[in-house]
Amino acid sequence: MSDALRTKDLLGEKNRNILGVVLNRISRKDQIRGDHVSLFMELPIIGMIRDDKRVRKSIESKNPVVLNYPKSEVSTDFRRVAYSLLDREPNLTPALWDRLRGFFRL
């Protein structure tokens, strides 16, 4: 969090427009809540990217996770952020496996 605050201050000194914050590697166990971060940073939350082992696998294969696992929840998270930055409504439906994982909390 301190790195994000320093980055915000540095960009402010350079008169750069900051659109908001993207929370990265969020898990169900995280105590960080978006509204708390937004208040602390005094910036809106653009999106949240969940922690997912598929991201590491995609990095190792040198391919974006949205191409390697296009229907995964984490890919959906990235698409939501992209749509938010474009100021468009996403048309996203999670894959069956991800819906089942969410239902059974796997």
Per-residue model confidence as pLDDT tens digits over 66-100: 999 998 999 999 999 999 999 887 766 666 666 67
DSSP letters, the chain, are -HHHHHHHHHHHHTT-----EEEEEE-TT----HHHHHHHHTS-EEEEEE--HHHHHHHHHTS-HHHHSTTSHHHHHHHHHHHHHTT--------HHHHHHHHHT-
Separation of alpha carbons 74 and 30, rounded Å:
16
Give which of 73, 67, 20 is closest to 51, Cα–Cα.
Answer: 73
Q: How many distinct structural domains can be found in the chain?
A: 2
Q: Average of pLDDT values for 41-57? A: 93
**Is residue 57 domain-shared with residue 77, that is, in the same domain?**
yes
Does 72 lie in the same domain as 35?
Answer: no
Domain range enclosing 69: 52-106
**pLDDT in the model for residue 21:** 93
Say yes or no: 37 and 60 in one domain: no
> Does one domain contain both 36 and 73?
no
pLDDT at 97: 66
Band (29; pLDDT cuts 50, 70, 90):
confident
Structure tokens at 21: 């914050």
